[in-house]
Amino acid sequence: MLRRSFLAASAATLALVSTTALAQSPRQITLTHSSPANSHFGLAAITFKEVVEKESNGRYRVVIQRLDNEREALESVQLGSQEFSMGSTGPVGNFVPAVRALDVPFIFRDYAHARGVVDGKIGQDMLKDFTRRNIVGLAFMENGFRHLTTGGKLVEKPEDVKGLKIRTMENPVHMSAWRAAGVLPTPMAFSELPPALQQGTVDGQENPIPVILSNNFNQLQKYLYLTGHVYSAGLLAGSQTFWTTLNEGDRKIFQNAARAAVKTNRDKVEADERDGVAELRRRGMDVREVANRASYQEAMKSAMPDFERQFGADLLKAIRDQK
């Protein structure tokens, strides 16, 4: 009798200990991004992780994973199979088409202009639209302004790009703009780009300095032209399925982490823009200033009427006029 009582008490104690341990176990959260750990997205992801874990007193544990296919990551967030993703807005237009208006060439004057738009009413209204797709648009991030690179052929003026195969994101705005300039746009996932450059499948590509730098594209391309033709925004997205399980206090933790991650992201972009060109030159890349950027804008302007039909002339004017 005593033995049965002892065993019952032991079992009850073990059950209590197990339940307590389970209650104290951190909830694991997955965040993916498509860049190296020391990149503008990689460092932002670390900041996000640190803020979430600190402000939740360890109740959440953020696991950072690299996933090169950004569309796949966003689809996983939408389906609720992962909690967060961070990356460029390249595939985002497939979910919220209005975001593609941010990709119109030469619509932004500089970083202050672009950030004013995405942080202001225009950008925040775009973020709200994600809820209809089971996605929480937490914040706009950035890759930076995109620049052209080529391997063997030197481009000295917009006419020189005619007939070149240039890798673009799977983004119809980018493709239309380059097609207007006479390029043969070749869309492909970012993970496919390095072998395509090595094998000569494409003649060049276009990306911001932070991406060119962190992915060592200087080893694959000879020339860099500072065209600054498109501002490449980024997105920190969350799963609506996950978000609905959070109370207001925990939502605030993730929102605070998002704001901190955006600051880290932009600080790194600014540092790469400031120091990256010199570093790429040091690595042997032939970096060409583009004195007449307006000539590239002129080369792409035949695509503008279609962009105005897609996004509305009023929206594009509002973006341009943002102070």
Within-domain flag for 263: yes
* Residue-level pLDDT, tens digit, the chain, 323 residues: 444 554 444 454 444 444 444 456 999 999 999 899 999 999 999 999 999 999 999 999 999 999 988 999 999 999 999 999 999 998 899 899 999 999 999 999 999 999 999 999 999 999 999 999 999 999 999 999 999 999 989 999 999 999 999 999 888 999 999 999 999 999 998 889 999 999 999 999 999 999 999 899 999 999 999 999 999 999 999 999 999 999 999 999 999 999 999 999 999 999 998 999 999 999 999 999 998 999 999 999 999 999 999 999 999 999 999 98
Would you say how long the chain is, in residues? 323
- Two tokens at 147? 């620049």
CATH code for the domain in which residue 144 is found:
3.40.190.170
Q: Which amino acid is at 146?
A: R
* Residues contacting 170, CB < 8 A, separation 6+: 71, 90, 91, 187, 188, 189
Within-domain flag for 18: no
Structural Rg of the chain based on CA atoms = 23
Tokens 């209809």, residue?
132
Measured CA to CA, the distance from residue 321 to residue 323 in angstroms comes to 6
- Provide the 10 A C-beta neighbour count for residue 298: 13
Distance from the Cα of residue 248 to its chain's centroid: 26
Alpha-carbon distances, residue 36 vs 41, 175, 210, 213 (angstroms): 8, 26, 11, 10
Range of the domain at 256: 25-321
Within-domain flag for 236: yes
Within-domain flag for 288: yes
**What's the predicted TM-score (pTM) here?**
0.87
Alpha-carbon distances, residue 52 vs 2, 41, 138, 244, 283 (angstroms): 49, 16, 14, 17, 37
Within-domain flag for 16: no
Measured CA to CA, the distance from residue 18 to residue 5 in angstroms comes to 20
Number of domains in the chain: 1
Within-domain flag for 7: no
